[in-house]
Amino acid sequence: MAVNALPLSAVVAVIGAGAMGAGIAQVAAVAGHPVRLLDNRPGAAQQAIEGIRAQLGKLADKGKMTAEAARAAGERLQAAENLAQLADAGLVVEAIVENLEVKRALFRDLEAVVGGHCIFGTNTSSISVTAIGAGLQNAGRLAGLHFFNPAPLMALVEVVSGLATDAAVAETLFATAAAWGKTPVHAKSTPGFIVNRVARPFYAEGLRLLHEGAADCATIDAVVREAGGFRMGPFELMDMIGHDVNFAVTRSVWNAFFNDQRFLPSLIQQELVDAGFLGRKTGRGFYSYAAGAERPAP
Ligand code: NAI
């Protein structure tokens, strides 16, 4: 089936202006779409847009895009104040908190606002796309559109079909992700999809090693990176993803497999979440980060 990407005239709405939403908004704006960014934290969308413009400026300074392209992409971004301002969207990408009920409620509210042609993409890392779509009048319009962190840099996008997802919707999202310069793959809505399923043991075994006192995080990370050839070890990667997000994903996969011990969440990570030590975004996780530092303090 030859299906076209969304036309560049289509408005892309991104809901959730956190790490992922901001990155996805940047990708869509650079591709050429008018983009509206909405967050329920007052000022968050505008702040994210300023961050994206600064990011685009840096890319232009490094010669990775022209100054004119950076400026034009920056101008295509607009903050929205409420769902009604997304009424003309052709695609809505949701990147809010990893919680089934909150995502379901958002899509139900959205359905009352947007046109019948509008496609819904959820950036969920692990929640069943079938379950997210279940409350919709037209569940066929929803699919997973799962980017990786940081979205502007990571090529892979999982296009996840729930049981009710229309094949044409999945194909349009696949073609759109490809048009945005990404490498999409189709996946079915199984717990954790592809990447977050195979990544669970990567984190879990690192956490078990730490729990058993086999070595400290820095040693385990260094071994995995330098001897294993991974770009990041499990602890630095969890710090980058955010422990609230990573722990929610682990719990969701564990629940989805009827509490299979292979996916048992770690009490160490539960403690970090309870303490609010969420990783880079809060300045502390397994490592401490100086303000704005990319690398953990030694
Ligand atoms: P984040 O915590 O950085 O950002 C979430 C944003 O959503 C916050 O700004 C929050 O104010 C906003 N928000 C929460 N509820 C909202 C609502 N009802 N309406 C509007 N805005 C709302 O989280 P992050 O990391 O960007 O994750 C977002 C989603 O993307 C989650 O589903 C997560 O599982 C998924 N994801 C995360 C990845 C990561 O590495 N952090 C990678 C791929 C997917």
Q: Would 11-188 and 200-282 be classified into the same CATH topology?
A: no
Whether 245 lines ligand 1, by a CB cut-off of 6 Å, is yes
CA separation for the pair 188, 106 (Å, rounded)? 22
Banded pLDDT at 298 (limits 50, 70, 90): very low
Whether 110 lines ligand 1, by a CB cut-off of 6 Å, is no
pLDDT > 70 fraction of the chain, expressed in percent and rounded: 97
Give 62-79 pLDDT, tens digit per residue.
Answer: 999 999 999 999 999 999
> Mutate which of 24, 125, 128 to test ligand 1's pocket (most atoms within 8 Å of Cβ)?
125
pLDDT for the residue numbered 48: 98
CATH topology for the 200-282 domain:
N-(1-d-carboxylethyl)-l-norvaline Dehydrogenase; domain 2 (1.10.1040)
**Inter-CA distances, 244 with 107, 137, 283, 295, Å:** 22, 31, 14, 20
Does 196 score more than 80 pLDDT? yes
Does 162 score more than 90 pLDDT? yes
**Inter-CA distances, 84 with 5, 7, 78, 101, 144, Å:** 25, 22, 14, 21, 23
Taking the model in full, what pTM does it have?
Answer: 0.92
Amino acid at 70: A
Question: Is the ipTM reported for this complex over the cut 0.95?
Answer: yes
**Inter-CA distances, 15 with 48, 93, 131, 163, 270, Å:** 12, 6, 19, 24, 27
Give residue 218 CA to ligand 1 midpoint distance, Å.
27
Residue from 98, 111, 123, 125 carrying the catalytic annotation: 125
Does 287 score more than 70 pLDDT? yes
Average pLDDT of the segment spanning 221-232: 96
Q: Could you tell me the two tokens for 109?
A: 């509210």
With 0-12 / 13-18 / 19 or more C-beta atoms within 10 angstroms meaning exposed / middle / buried, residue 96 is: buried
Give residue 245 CA to ligand 1 midpoint distance, Å.
8
Domain 11-188 -> CATH class: alpha beta
Whether 135 lines ligand 1, by a CB cut-off of 6 Å, is no
Q: Could you tell me the two tokens for 205?
A: 């075994």
Known catalytic membership, residue 146: yes
Whether 15 lines ligand 1, by a CB cut-off of 6 Å, is yes
Does 296 score more than 80 pLDDT? no
Average per-residue pLDDT for the chain: 96
Known catalytic membership, residue 158: yes
Give residue 219 CA to ligand 1 midpoint distance, Å.
30
Any idea where the domains of the chain sit in the sequence? 11-188, 200-282
